[in-house]
Structures are given as C-alpha cells and as structure tokens.
Amino acid sequence: MIRAAYAQTKPLSDIYLPGMTKPENIGALLSPLINNAIILTALASFAAVVFAGFNYITSSGDKAKVQQATTMLNYALLGLALAVSAFVITQIIGRIGGFDFLKPGI
C-alpha cells in the first residue's frame, strides 16, 4: 500500500524543464534559475528607483509624499545592492565549488 516517493525513484539528473538540455550536474540545473532570479530582482529594483524618483519629482513639496518617495528610493537602492551582492556571492560560491553560473554547460 505504501508507494515510493518521487525522489526515491527519479534521479536529480532526470528532472529538467522542457526545452532545456539535460543537466550534467547540480550547477547546470540551478544556474539558469539563479541567473534569472538575480536579473529579475535587479530589474525590479531599477524600476522602483525610477518610480521613486518620479514620485519625488512630482511630490510638489508635500512633506508626506517627499518622505514616502525618499523611503521608497532607499529601499529600492537597498534591493539593487542586494541583487549585486547576490551575484557576487554566487560567483564566489561557483569558483569555490568548481562551476560557473554564467556558463552552465562548461
């Protein structure tokens, strides 16, 4: 009555997205996911910086709106800094682990 768990019957190398080549190792499996997550985070942070700047310019001297735009700008820059540091950390881990996140097939 007890069936085997999915992880017990399928090796990790058989799990991949349609259209991708079959991953050779864990680095090749995680590399596109990590790269895309970092790119999306950086783009969202950049868009938030632009939006906060627009809100700051159009605040017309209203102290509440200026404070809100300043807070948004601070958080957006923090997010951008975190995205850049995440990229640097993944590169360091990749060098230590022996795989390159930017070239997963190598």
Q: Has residue 14 been placed in a domain? A: no
Residues 46-88 have pLDDT tens digits of 899 999 999 999 988 899 999 999 999 999 889 888 888 888 8
Q: What is the pTM of this model?
A: 0.60
C-alpha to C-alpha distance for 102 and 106, rounded to whole angstroms: 9
Query: Which pLDDT score is estimated for 65?
Result: 92
More confident residue, 48 or 27: 48
Q: Has residue 45 been placed in a domain? A: yes
Q: 3-state SS of the chain?
A: CCCCCHHHHCCHHHCCCCCCCCCCCHHHHHHHHHHHHHHHHHHHHHHHHHHHHHHHHCCCCCHHHHHHHHHHHHHHHHHHHHHHHHHHHHHHHHHHHCCCCCCCCC
Q: Has residue 104 been placed in a domain? A: no
Query: Which pLDDT score is estimated for 27?
Result: 64
Q: Has residue 48 been placed in a domain? A: yes
Q: Has residue 105 been placed in a domain? A: no
The structural domain count of the chain equals 1
For residue 59, the enclosing domain spans 32-96
Q: Has residue 42 been placed in a domain? A: yes
Q: Has residue 63 been placed in a domain? A: yes
